[in-house]
Amino acid sequence: MSISPVTALQEVANVRLMLQQQQHPGAKVPVTVCRQVIDCSIQQTKLISSRDNGPGIDTGDILCEGYLTRAALLPPATPESNPWDWLAAEQAWQSPGLRATFQPLAVPPATEPPRLTTVQVPAEGVCWLGDLSLLQTPGVLPLSPRAVFAGASLLMIGQAYGPGGIGLQVQPELGEAISFALKPNRVLVIETGDSLNLIAERYGTTVQTLRAVNPDLAQQGPITTVVGDTLNVLAARHGTTVDYLRKLNPSLLRADGHTTTSGDTLKQLAIDYDTTVDWLRLYNPDYDRWPRSDPLPVGVLLNVPAIRPSDPLDVGQVLQVPLIRPATLLSAGGWIYLPPLRGVNAADDLWDVDLSPDPPPDTP
């Protein structure tokens, strides 16, 4: 690969970033179109306290500021791809000092290609802070115990450098300004013997949470039921919940639903159909903010489960389940995201909690 032009700061670049470039940044269901690989020269400027945290930045993060020196694009990661390809020394670098640009495909009936795009705030990913001369091709995690491998959250990129338009003069030499939060203890290099159960126990989280922050660990596939299978058995075997199995398999919902009658509430229907109010809301988005104890309108057709968790399933039924079980050994040498550590807080749905009535005042 030919040597690409570089900025004056490439010699002192000390961090390699990999950011997920989304089709629509900030969307509820993000779609990654490519990965942006960025070399930059940064300094760690501030430890984030509880007074400074906010969107994309948490207490304990480290604020990093500096300049982008070069960038390249990689396709979205797959379970089969090299987890360290973004650390390869050789990349298809684009214009020095600027973010790489991505060309989306034309979507019929459009005939002309869409506009070029690049990574924008918000963007999440990982970073390796260390001696970039240690990087190899193909990409591997360098043997450098003093280097830092951590999560990263992009906070600002390509903004003004200072008053008076000085940025227009220095940008070609320095590269685009960049600011991101370095997030310690938010990624984990998988070791021999690691499983979802072991990692969840080690870090005080759950298998479901690990799957939520690592979509590759939530891959789904078909199984065929055998004698003795129930939803309870399958949920325990595959480290999930009965209601999540119902979500993956719409055939487990009643075809004719439930038509509400006078006095029906979400709370009572959850009891009747052996599920939870939260999952009834998920099955019925029109009622996702309906108070659990308020009477429902009469004559409304709601989606409800058809099979109780303890009822035997038909033998030979094909169902979708998570493929990676909690006890399955993960491939050593890769890496996964870890969820942020949180303190014990009050329930999120305090607006919808059935509070016991105040006791009557004492009478003399």
Q: Are residues 169 and 224 in the same domain?
A: no
Question: Is the domain of 53 the same as that of 176?
Answer: yes
Q: Is 202 inside any structural domain? A: no
Stretch 37-56: mean pLDDT: 87
Lowest mean pLDDT among 172-176, 263-267, 315-319: 172-176
Q: What's the pLDDT at 344?
A: 46
Question: Is 21 within a domain?
Answer: yes
Q: Summarize pLDDT for 303-355 with one digit per residue, the tens.
A: 888 777 888 887 888 888 888 888 889 989 999 999 987 654 444 445 455 55
| 177 and 217 share one domain | no
Is residue 206, in this structure, part of any structural domain at all?
no
Q: Is 239 found in the same domain as 168?
A: no
Greater pLDDT, 364 or 292:
292
Residues 29 and 176 in one domain: yes
Q: What pLDDT score does 357 carry?
A: 52
- Residue range of the domain that includes 68: 10-184
Tell whether 240 and 159 lie within a shared domain: no
CB atoms within 10 A of CB 286: 9
Average pLDDT value for the chain:
85
Q: What is the mean pLDDT of residues 199-221?
A: 89
In this structure, are 41 and 142 located in the same domain? yes
What is the Cβ-side half-sphere exposure of residue 290, based on CA atoms within 13 angstroms? 23
Adjacent-strand bridge partners of 329 = 195
Give strand ranges (E) for the chain.
15-22, 32-47, 62-74, 123-129, 148-157, 177-183, 187-189, 220-224, 258-259, 301-302, 318-322, 335-337
If asked whether residues 226 and 95 sit together in one domain, one would say no
For 103-137, how does the pLDDT look when each residue is reduced to its tens digit (9 = 90+)? 988 878 877 888 999 999 889 999 999 999 999 99
Answer yes or no: is 243 within a domain: yes
**Are 24 and 31 within 8 A, CB to CB?**
yes
The verdict on 75 and 143 lying in the same domain is yes
Q: Do 163 and 255 belong to one domain?
A: no
pLDDT band at 1 (very low <50, low <70, confident <90, very high): very low
Residue 357, domain member (yes or no): no
Q: Poorest-confidence range of 172-186, 236-250, 335-349?
A: 335-349
Residue 338 counted as domain residue? no
Tell me which residue of 347, 189, 196, 352 sits closest to 281, measured CA to CA.
352
Asked if 142 and 268 sit in the same domain, the reply is no
Residues 129 and 225 in one domain: no
Residue 5 included in any domain: no
Per residue in 139-169, pLDDT (tens digit) is 999 999 999 999 999 998 886 565 555 566 6
Question: What integer pLDDT is reported at residue 72 of this predicted model?
Answer: 95
Domain count, the chain: 2
